[in-house]
C-alpha cells in the first residue's frame, strides 16, 4: 500500500486543518494471503489510521490500497460490496458497535441478510454454527449485548465479522480493553480461527507481547511511517531499526537478557503533525548522524524478508558500541 504524499501536507495544501493522527507518509506495506501481520507502534504513530485505510473507513489521499492487484478506489457496485464483505474490521469496543436493543440472534441475522450469506431458512443453523465457532453457548443467541462480559462481547463481534465469510480481518487493539487473562483467550481464539478458516489477519496493537504471540510478520510504525518489517522471530531477535530496538528496550519483560544491549529512545515523541525532517526518528535516535535530518531513509533489505528504513547499514546497537 502506498501513500506517497504526507497526509498533513495534503491537508495543508487543501487548506484543511491538520489532523495529527491521520498523517501517513511513504507507507508501503503488503499483507500476504493467510498470514497474520502485526502492526505495532506508540499511540499516534498512525497504525489505526493505516488499519482504517485498509478497510476504507478513511479515504486515502495521494495513495493507493490494492486488493489482489486491484485498486480498491476503482471498485463500484457489486465489486465494492464484495470488497466490503471480504475485508472486515473488528473493533476494540464491540459494545459501541453492537446495537444494545438487538439480541445476538438479531445482530447475526442482520449481518447474514445484508450480504445474503445463506437462505433465510438456514439462518438459525448458521447462527448456531457461528456461536460455536467463537465458543459461545447456544443460548447466547437470545440475550442482549449488555448481558455479556467484555471478552464475550468481543466474541460476538468476531462472530458478526465471520458471518459474512471474510478473507481478511483487520483488528485494531482488539483486546486492549480486556483483562490480561481474557486477552489471552480472545487472542488464542483469533489464532485458531486464522488457521482453521485460512484468514488473513492484520493485528494492530501497542502490546508487543501479544503481537509477538499472534503474528507471522511484524511491521513497526513511527510517526506515520513504517520503519521496519520482518518475520516475527527476526524482528524480536535481531531488530535493525534503532526505533524498534528502543521499543523492545522499553518492554524488558519480552526479552530481559538483551535489555542492557539496546539503547532507549531519548526525549519526547515529536508531534505527528510536524514530524522532524529526514528520518522521523532523528531527534531521539542514539545513532543519529548528519545525514539523518537531511535525508529520508527508505525501507531497504536487511536480510531475508527483512526491511528497515535507516541510513545505518547494520544499525545493531551491539555492533555500534
Ligand atoms: Fe537513527 Fe539515522 Fe537510522 Fe534514523 S536514519 S534511525 S536517525 S541512524
Ligand atoms: Mg489506535
Q: How many domains does the chain have?
A: 2
Q: Please check whether residues 196 and 294 belong to one and the same domain.
A: no
Q: Is 124 exposed, middle or buried (CB count within 10 Å of its CB: 0-12, 13-18, 19+)?
A: middle
Shared domain check, 314 and 243: yes
User: Comparing C-alpha atoms, which of 190, 159, 172, 192 is closest to residue 48?
Assistant: 172
Same domain for 80 and 151: yes
Q: Is residue 180 part of a domain?
A: yes
Using a 6 Å CB cutoff, which residues line ligand 1? 241-242, 279, 281-282, 285, 287-288, 292, 297, 310-312, 315
Ligand 1 atom closest to 291 (CA): 2
The strand pair at 70-71 and 66-67 is best described as antiparallel
ipTM of the complex: 0.97
Last residue of a domain, one of 215, 250, 265: 215
Considering the domain architecture, whether residues 243 and 125 belong to the same structural domain is answered as no
Indicate if 205 and 263 belong to the same structural domain. Answer: no
Are 183 and 304 found together in one domain? no
Rg, Å, the chain Cα set: 21
- Residue 253: the pLDDT is 57
Report which protein residue has its CA nearest ligand 1's atom 7.
282
Q: 215, 231, 259 — which closes off a domain? A: 215
- Domain end marker among 215, 230, 248: 215
Residue 308: other Cβ atoms inside 10 A: 27
Same domain, 259 and 199: no
Residues 82 and 191 in one domain: yes
Task: Tell me the CA–centroid distance for residue 253 and ligand 1, in Å.
Answer: 25
Averages of pLDDT over runs of 10 residues in the chain (321 residues) are: 38 44 72 95 86 82 85 92 93 79 96 93 97 96 94 94 96 90 93 96 94 96 94 96 92 54 72 87 95 94 95 58 37
- 39 burial via Cβ count (<10 Å: 0-12, 13-18, 19+): buried
Residue 229 placed within a domain: no
In a domain, 54, yes or no: yes
Residue 302 in domain: yes
Q: Which domain holds residue 29?
A: 7-215
What CATH number does the domain containing 201 carry? 3.40.50.300
**223 assigned to some structural domain:** no
For residues 117 and 43, membership in a common domain is answered with yes
Taking alpha carbons only, the member of 221, 222, 205 closest to residue 213 is 205
pLDDT of 61: 75
Claim to verify: residue 192 and residue 246 sit in the same structural domain = no
**Is the residue at 221 inside a domain?**
no
What per-residue confidence (pLDDT) applies to 320? 41
Cβ(110)–Cβ(78) under 8 Å?
A: no
Residue ranges of the alpha helices (H) in 2-98? 7-13, 47-54, 77-86, 94-97
Examine the domain organization and report whether 51 and 198 are in the same domain.
yes
Per-residue confidence (pLDDT) for residue 251, from 0 to 100: 75
Q: Are residues 109 and 252 in the same domain?
A: no
Contact 156, 188 (CB under 8 A): no
| Probe residue for ligand 1, chosen from 223, 312, 319 as the CB with the greatest number of ligand atoms within 8 Å | 312
Angle (CA) 21 168 86, round 5°: 105
- Classify residue 299: in a domain, yes or no: yes
Amino acid at each position: 500500500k502506498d501513500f506517497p504524499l504526507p497526509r498533513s501536507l495534503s491537508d495543508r495544501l487543501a487548506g484543511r486543518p491538520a489532523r495529527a493522527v491521520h498523517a501517513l507518509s511513504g507507507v508501503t506495506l503488503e499483507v500476504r494471503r493467510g498470514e497474520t501481520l502485526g502492526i505495532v507502534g506508540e499511540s499516534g504513530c498512525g497504525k489505526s489510521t493505516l488499519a482504517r485505510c485498509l478497510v476504507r473507513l478513511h479515504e486515502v489521499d495521494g495513495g493507493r490500497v490494492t486488493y489482489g492487484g486491484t485498486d480498491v478506489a476503482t471498485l463500484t457496485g457489486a465489486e465494492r460490496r464484495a470488497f466490503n464483505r471480504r475485508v472486515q474490521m473488528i473493533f476494540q469496543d464491540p459494545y459501541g458497535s453492537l446495537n444494545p436493543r438487538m439480541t445476538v440472534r438479531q445482530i447475526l441475522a442482520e449481518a447474514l441478510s445484508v450480504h445474503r450469506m445463506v437462505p433465510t431458512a438456514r439462518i438459525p443453523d448458521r447462527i448456531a454454527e457461528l456461536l460455536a465457532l467463537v465458543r459461545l453457548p447456544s443460548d447466547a443467541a437470545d440475550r442482549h449485548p449488555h448481558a455479556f462480559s467484555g471478552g464475550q462481547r468481543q466474541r460476538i463481534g468476531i462472530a458478526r465479522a465471520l458471518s459474512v465469510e471474510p478473507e481478511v480481518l483487520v483488528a485494531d487493539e482488539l483486546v486492549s480493553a480486556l483483562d490480561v487473562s481474557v486477552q489471552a483467550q480472545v487472542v488464542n481464539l483469533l489464532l485458531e480461527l486464522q488457521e482453521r478458516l485460512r484468514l488473513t489477519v492484520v493485528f494492530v496493537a501497542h502490546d508487543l507481547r501479544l503481537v509477538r504471540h499472534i503474528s507471522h510478520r511484524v511491521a513497526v510504525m513511527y510517526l506515520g511511517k513504517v520503519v521496519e518489517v520482518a518475520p516475527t522471530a527476526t524482528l524480536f531477535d535481531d531488530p535493525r531499526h534503532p526505533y524498534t530496538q528502543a521499543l523492545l528496550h522499553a518492554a524488558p519483560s519480552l526479552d530481559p537478557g538483551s535489555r542492557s544491549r539496546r539503547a532507549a529512545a531519548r526525549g519526547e515523541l515529536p508531534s505527528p503533525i510536524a514530524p522532524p525532517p529526514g528520518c522521523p526518528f532523528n531527534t531521539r535516535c542514539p545513532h543519529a548522524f548528519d545525514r539523518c535530518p537531511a535525508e529520508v531513509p527508505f525501507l531497504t533489505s536487511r536480510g531475508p524478508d527483512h526491511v528497515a528504513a535507516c541510513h545505518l547499514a547494520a544499525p545493531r546497537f551491539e555492533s555500534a558500541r
